[in-house]
Amino acid sequence: MSGTRDWRGLLFVAPFVLLYGLILVFPLLRGLWLSLNQVDLFGAGHFVGAANYARLARDPIFAASLMNTFEVTLMIVPVLTVLALALALALNRATKGAAIFRGIFFSSAVLSVTIVTLIWRFVLAPDAGLLGDLWTALGWTPLPFLSDTHLALPALALTTIWWSMGFPMLLFLAGLQQIPEDMYEAAALDNASRWTTLWRITVPALRRTIVLVVMLQTAAQLQMFGQSQLLTAGGPSGASRTAVLFLFETAFAQWQLGYASAAAEVLFLIILAVTVTQYWATGRATAQGK
């Protein structure tokens, strides 16, 4: 239907667009500006060009935090995807029992990060934690999850996997629902075993959902903050400090706003690059009929 282009349409989108401009677009541009300045608590800064970025490149703490972020993301995403997919496959049925199990596996996803870290601090703590008590009861020494440099990141990963199971599982369930029955019937007529059916039919049909889950989870875990700050405070000695925690400490503990802004921009670029690469790589795989 063609109408006249009417300025009054703008009135409908104006409230959102104005807020959006003020609270997202302006800060986005301003953040870029801040990253080129040396700014402290009192806001009076002076222009330093790319000096912040140069400093970031030489900063071992920032580098370490980036490494930690990548490591923990790699620990989480593959395991989470496989587990969520397995759960969805197992629970994609209409029975009451399956519904109960689905509810159980989703329940952790509605909690906030502060509740989750609080719970898991007292699961992982060697002296007072659930796991610690269990280990002791079995006669083993409890593992010092939160205070060992090699165990801190795995601790974050474990907590996060427990926490994040719900939504990917639901997404996979939704994807499974959309696979047409005839494909399975044809496979049955072709005498396909259950394993073959899984690999040759179900998983390929779920490709889009798998890609979506991987992309969303990667972007989410690259931005990990709460677990790092609350479970381990980034320690011990920065072994579990994520990039966003670095940002937070630089900005709100050390008040180096310009430097922190530069770190924020770098992180933004990394997330963007990773997401685009994933999208492009999977697009090409699809095009090649893999």
Partner 1 sequence: MARGRLTPLGWVLLVIGAAIMLAPLVWTLLLSLKNNAALVGHSEAALHGPYTLENYAAIFGNSLTTRWLLNSIIVSLGTTAGVLVITSLAGYGFARLDFPFRRTLFVIVLLGLAVPSQAVILPQHQLFAWLHLHNSYPGLMLPGLVAPFGVFFMTTYMRGIPIELDEAAMLDGASRWTIFWRVILPLTIPAQSTLAVFTFLGSWNDYWWPLISATRSDMYTLTVGLAAAQMNYAQTSGLGYLMAQAVFASIPIFIVYIVFQKQIVRAMAGTNVR
Partner 2 sequence: MASLELKGVRKAFGSTPVLDDVSLTLESREFIAFLGPSGSGKSTLLRIIAGLETADAGEVWLEGRRIDRLPPGDRGVAMVFQHYALYPHMSVRENMAFGLKNARASKDEIERRIADAAAVLEIDPLLERKPGQLSGGQRQRVAIGRALVKEPKLFLLDEPLSNLDAALRLRTRVELAQLKQRVDAAVIMVTHDQAEAMTLADRVIVMNDRRIQQVGPPMEIYTRPANTFVAQFVGSPAMTLSPASLVQGEGEFAALTLGDGTLVETRVPRTSLPAGELRIGLRPEAVRVARSGAKAKVELVERLGERTLIYARLADGQPITAEDSGNSRVRIGDEVSLKIEGASAHVFDAEGAGYHRAES
* Binding-site ranges for partner 2 (CB under 8 A): 1-4
Phi and psi of 38, rounded to 5°?
-105, 115
Residues comprising the chain, all counted: 290
Binding part of the chain for partner 1, among 71-79, 141-149, 252-260, 281-289 by CB under 8 A, reads: 252-260
Query: Looking at residue 141, what DSSP letter applies?
Result: P
182 touches, from partner 1, partner 2, none (C-beta below 5 to 8 Å by class) = none
Compute, in degrees rounded to 10, the torsion defined by CA atoms 93, 98, 100, 102: -70
Shortest CB 12 distance to partner 2, Å:
18
For partner 1, the closer CB: 87 or 151: 87
Task: Verify binding: residue 254, partner 1, rule CB under 8 A.
Answer: no
Per-residue buried b or exposed e for 95-120, using 16+ beta carbons within 10 Å of the residue's own CB: eeeeeeebeebbebbeeebeebbebb
Q: Compute the distance between CA of residue 25 and CA of residue 260 in angstroms, rounded to an integer.
A: 19
Q: Compute the distance between CA of residue 172 and CA of residue 84 in angstroms, rounded to an integer.
A: 7
Site string for partner 1, 45-84 (x = CB under 8 A): ----------------------------------------
Within residues 84-113, the interface with partner 1 by CB under 8 A covers 87, 89-95, 99, 101-105, 107-108, 110-113
Q: Would you state the structure tokens that stand for residue 245, as one six-digit string?
A: 């925690």
Within residues 171-230, the interface with partner 1 by CB under 8 A covers 171, 173-174, 177-178, 181, 184, 194, 197, 202, 219, 223, 225-226, 230
* Cβ 76 vs Cβ 161: under 8 Å: yes
Within residues 112-141, the interface with partner 1 by CB under 8 A covers 112-115, 117-123, 127-130, 132-133, 136-137
For partner 2, the closer CB: 8 or 150: 8
152 touches, from partner 2, partner 1, none (C-beta below 5 to 8 Å by class) = none
Task: Verify binding: residue 15, partner 1, rule CB under 8 A.
Answer: yes
63 touches, from partner 2, partner 1, none (C-beta below 5 to 8 Å by class) = none
- Give the contacts of 205 (CB within 8 A, at least 6 positions apart): 175, 179, 183
Q: Compute the distance between CA of residue 7 and CA of residue 143 in angstroms, rounded to an integer.
A: 66
Neighbours of 130 (CB within 10 A): 13
For partner 2, the closer CB: 6 or 182: 6
Shortest CB 1 distance to partner 2, Å:
5
For partner 1, the closer CB: 265 or 282: 265
